[in-house]
Amino acid sequence: MKTTIKCYIKTVMIASLILSGLAYAKPVTIDGVNYPEGRVPQEIKDNKYPRSYFPNTEKLGKKEMRITALGTGMPNQTPNNKAASFLVELGNGESFLFDLGTGSTDNLAGLQADYSSLDKVFASHLHTDHIGDLATLWIGGWVAGRYTPMHVYGPSGSTPELGTASMVEGLTKTWAWDVAGRTGVLPDAGGKIIAHEFDYKKTAVVYNENGVKVISFPAIHIIDGAVSYRLEWEGLSFVFGGDSYPNKWYLKEAKGADVAIHECFFTPEQWMKIAGFPYKNAYWVTSKIHTPPEAFGKVMSSIKPRLAVAYHYWNHRDIEFEIYAGVRKTYDGPLAMANDLTVINVTKEHIEVREVSVNHEAWGQGTSQAWDEAPRSDFADGAMSKFLLDGKVKGFVAPPKKQ
């Protein structure tokens, strides 16, 4: 019995020491970039990358781009395929999210990213498998270290209620209770979400800051209001296509890109096998509003990127090999079949394709000193009714410590 008590006391003491250390953990800033406490990123030399990418262990070069697939799957995602999302990190310390489909923030969390820099989302269109996790990042990122507003860039629709601004307005109404309840505890500005809606019909620059230019151009997908994007920085180019039938705008704007991402959907026969659709319905889904494998190959043969990236299918081996074979009928250039957590490093001289190795029990970085000091309103102590306050049981919770 004494031995058991001693072991229990020892366990509690160790746990207390661990927790006391974690409670004050802050990210470490190296060359203007925040990393989890204890991580010191190393410089990659002579293009000799480790076989796996371990988050926060590699320092991006000043003219290097890192692209991480956070989601490559479908609306009804599988455990190994979250919905569509790609993170682009640049050597100047900036980060950009292209789409943020349902479940993709799970993989984002695994990167132990600096949430204070994750404040720009570019939506290709407003399906849940491309923007369904926006509220999760907006609120979760606010809790985890973002102290500035969330900015959402996205297309207009055929009517105002089908556009990005209306979607964001609806989101703020939906989660008003959530935001109101965090008043005072979190920085005020981090609770804001700002829509930047642009005309989906125009090829135009929709973002141009700090040497980074993002161009939007039309895409063809079910109804009006889908787009693709091209990011340009330091002579590098990244093109992201959301859902689209092959179209003239992508062939023009993605020409010669360093990395060109485009959906590579199923064939009608595969969709019949997977979803049980009749052929007529399966053809409409796969070949009238999406791009099936052989068509994807034709797109890439036309634009000739340094690296073509296929996504938007389930990565089940019995299907993936068939999709790959379909692409290779019409395209013989450099190709990556993206999984969730495929990572691509890009410089003018080299492209490296690997997989991220994630600790599934990883915690976030912790909030920064800047987050701590960002302006706040008063705590929402007066927001609760007397009816609920009178229901409190006294003496159960310890009073605050003197500081």
What was the pLDDT predicted at 10? 42
pLDDT of residue 4: 47
d(CA 210, CA 179): 31
Tokens 């389930």 sit on residue: 314
In sequence order, what are the residues at sequence separation of 6 or more whose Cβ sits closer than 8 angstroms to the Cβ of residue 249? Answer: 203, 217, 218, 219, 228
Which residues 6+ apart lie within 8 Å of 364 measured at CB?
36, 109, 112, 115, 144, 145
157-210 tens-digit pLDDT: 999 999 999 999 999 999 999 999 998 999 999 999 999 999 999 999 999 999
Which pLDDT score is estimated for 17?
38
Q: Return d(Cα 182, Cα 179) in angstroms, integer.
A: 5
pLDDT of residue 25: 75
- Domains of the chain, by residue range, sit at 40-389
Return d(Cα 183, Cα 134) in angstroms, integer: 20
Which pTM does this prediction carry? 0.92
What is the DSSP pairing of strand 33-35 with strand 150-155?
unpaired
Please work out, in degrees rounded to the nearest 5, the angle formed at the alpha carbon of residue 236 by the alpha carbons of 234 and 240: 130
* Number of other CB atoms surrounding residue 22 within 10 Å: 11
Q: In the chain, which stretches have pLDDT less than 70?
A: 1-24
Q: Coil, strand or helix: which one is 240?
A: strand
Contact in structure between 107 and 327 (CB atoms under 8 Å): no
Sign for the CA dihedral angle at 15, 17, 18, 24 comes to positive
Q: What is the pLDDT of residue 183?
A: 86
User: What sign has the CA pseudo-torsion 214, 171, 361, 7?
Assistant: positive
Give me the pLDDT at residue 9, please.
40
The fold of the 40-389 domain, in CATH, is: Metallo-beta-lactamase; Chain A (3.60.15)
Which pLDDT value is given to residue 24?
57
C-alpha to C-alpha distances, 134 to 20, 110, 172, 296, nearest whole angstrom = 33, 17, 11, 28
Angle between helix axes 317-328 and 268-275 (nearest 10 degrees) is 170
For residue 123, give the nearest of 161, 165, 74, 89 by alpha carbon. Answer: 165
CA 13 – CA 19 distance, rounded (Å): 10
Cβ count within 10 A of residue 290? 24
Q: Residue 166 has which token pair?
A: 């209306």
CB contact burial 108-133 (16+ within 10 A = b; e otherwise): bbbbbbbbbbbbbbbbbbbbebbbbb
Distance CA 370, CA 372 (A): 5
